[in-house]
Structure 1
Amino acid sequence: IIRAQGITPAFHPHVGTWAETEEETRFVLDTTDASVLGFGPDMGHLAWAGADAAQLVRDYADRVASVHIKDLDLGLAAKGREAGWDYRKTVLAGLWSEPGHGNADIAGFVGALPDDFDGWLIIEVDRGARPTPEESVRLCGEWARRNA
């Protein structure tokens, strides 16, 4: 029904849902026909779960409908996983940052997209690292202009 309306439904793995890890992501995509479900990876949430988001994009390139660009502190994500922190504790410790202010491989993730990718690139900051939302949005816009 959704595809008949010209919309591509896309599976979006996310922390706190029934599918957040690389293994769970692969299971959903491998057991659902591509004609039924696309892929909308969130590089930050996949990285938080320890997944290789760029490799997932390469492996399911024909299904990628949109992507969420997100930067984070990968060391803090690993520390939180090793210590058994929940998502909230990891976020409050400073997990997320504006693009270009963390150490995620955004260029590698975007570079993994197929050459003919024409979907949405969504810049997202779950919890900005700046004092105000306006400052966070300004930094996101500056990053987008530099990397367009």
Structure 2
Amino acid sequence: MSTVQAAIGLGSNLGDPISQLQAALQRLQAHDAISLTATSSFYRSAPQGDAEQPDYVNACALIETTLAPHALLAALQAIERDLGKIKRGHWQAREIDLDLLLYGDAVIQSDDLTVPHPWLHKRDFVLVPLAEIAPDWMVPGKGSVSEMLAQLPDHFIQERL
């Protein structure tokens, strides 16, 4: 099978978020069917939704993979489970969150996977780190990552770590 470039969003705000993101990146790199090709800086951002939780640390990674989209999603979910993720609900605190943002130029709509990620174009805590490592990536129906970031009205990132 040929390789596909994919973009992964990473986030954590419980325990030691920086260590959680580093551990997730190490597990991505250790996977037999995944090659980590770029990693953004880490960014501290304010929580959305329930503001009564710690700030997040977010990053993005580019990978090359031979996994099909749903197999890649399963691999990401396995890493989350291994790192202790507990599903608490939308916009709730989390040990680790790995989102499949982009999978080549694919557009996927299924019950358990939507690519491009449906909120990608509305989240600076995803677009800022993604623009750092893939500013010219063309997102189907949205334009380039850097164009989406330039049009974003809301900002939650507080600092680059």
Fold shared by both chains (TM-score > 0.5): no
Looking at secondary structure, tell me which structure has more helix per residue.
1
Structure with max Cα Rg:
1
Normalised TM-score (structure 2) = 0.27
Normalised TM-score (structure 1) = 0.29
